[in-house]
Amino acid sequence: MRSASLLLAVGLLPSIACSSGKSSSASSAGDDGGETLTYAPKGCAYTVTPPASRGFTDLALDDPNAAVDPAQDAPVRVRIGLGGGTTAGQPGYADPATSAVFTWETAASTNAAQVHIGTSPSSMADVHTGYSWTNPPPTVGIGTTEPPGYFHEVHVCGLQPGTTYFYQVGGGAGAGAWSATQTFSTPPATGPVLVGFSGDSRDDVTIFQLVQERMRDAGVQLQLTSGDLVLWGMQESLYAKWLESSWKDPNDPSKFLTLGQMPILSVGGNHENQSSQYFANWALPGDGNWAETYASFDLSSAHIVLLNDEGIAAGSNDEATTQLAWLDKDLAQADANRSAHPFIVIVNHRGEFSTSNHGKDGDVLQTRAQLAPMFAKYHVDLVINGHDHNYERTNPIVPAANPADAPVVQTSPSAGTTYVVCAGSGANSYAPGSPAPWMNKTVGFGNGTPYEGVYGLLSLDKGKLSFKAYGLKVAGGGVAGDTVIDSWP
């Protein structure tokens, strides 16, 4: 069952309100009363149209003459995401080696949305413009007393793989209002890439910050998270707190930690609740009604799929139908393209197979019923989840005919899919459940163990893929001081 706190609040959860707000010259009212805007990023073979259902208001393209206050309009919590299309092989398909999305906030509303970027801090002459919007608080339930969020986003395409870039974000008239210079590196088109993985940070921001320190120190080039970043996804102040903790280096505020220093791609979990606050804070590929709820991209040896499973877990609905149809085509194409990217990796929130608290929940079984047969059909290699706050790894398995029954262990690793739950970057711990023949490894944290959390590092290289899970020791010496609690294969 879901946690008691979530069950008690279900009746209080706000709908994703659609406010008519005020329209700019670049936006118009959508069919349901929300605003729409179409943004065509320079040099990108795709457009961006935030769905009206998000309820964003004051949508406007960059205004180079916008009046800005250097104090109120200074960019904060600059982060890097990914844009692009969701159809592999088509122009504009998402590619972290050649593109990036820069998102930030300001304390007040302004239509300044520019990125200056280059390969040295003295030559950030490549200018890209974006758009801005206001995200109002929910109209009912949790989060109604929160302030609105003022967001800005710029998509940049045409970057070179394996290259370090320096950038500033901001804009406006005169000297404008600008961020400090930050830097990040695009992953190489081929060759070794290190991907960081974490999940469920919602309860303790200090543990989340420690995990981010590990990601920086390990040399991670891209992060994936499985959702439930914050306890209540409708509270903008929680995103501000958690993201602030990963933006500036806690040991030297003049330096940066991970936010804005590497792409961080986060799928939604049940605590995000499909809120407009969640969608405002992260940039993921996709367009249309269900934009940013499903995407994929190729990275080194892997084809990586990001899936927000909220609609799928809820049963039959338009969102699930759209996602599942897309997923079937995407995985079929990826399975046929093994010569270029031999491994398929899935990231979604709910652990399809777990022995812990949520392993037999109805929404988890629904997710298993819809996804596991497809993963088996297309020989998905690795599925990484959150939701249950512990670490678990299955043997190679395929689902039983009845979703409620135990999966079937395969003697050959290539004949089944390995499922990993790696969720402990701040959330309260759950104990692993009873041993099961299909479960290979279970490790808890907290509750008298040496660990205060768990995280993972996924290594990709030509023809190779490996995953290591670490038990986080607060008093340890970084990654080297943490314990490798599991490795695969």
Report pLDDT digits (tens) over 13-25. Answer: 333 333 323 223 3
State residue 36's pLDDT score: 85
Q: What is the mean pLDDT of residues 136-156?
A: 97
State residue 31's pLDDT score: 41
Report pLDDT digits (tens) over 48-99. Answer: 999 999 999 999 999 999 999 998 999 999 999 999 999 999 999 999 999 9
State residue 34's pLDDT score: 63
Rounded CA-CA distance 288/278 in Å is 17
| The two three-digit tokens of residue 447, written as one number | 């509750």
Calculate the average pLDDT of the chain: 93
Report pLDDT digits (tens) over 415-431. Answer: 999 999 999 999 999 99
State residue 8's pLDDT score: 28
pLDDT band at 195, cuts 50/70/90? very high
**Number of Cβ atoms within 10 Å of the Cβ of 190:** 15
Diameter over CA atoms, the chain: 67
Domains and CATH numbers, the chain: 14-488 (3.60.21.10)
Report pLDDT digits (tens) over 312-345. Answer: 999 999 999 999 999 999 999 999 999 999 999 9
Report pLDDT digits (tens) over 266-291. Answer: 999 999 999 999 999 999 999 999 99
Q: What is the mean pLDDT of residues 476-487?
A: 93
Rounded CA-CA distance 106/73 in Å is 5
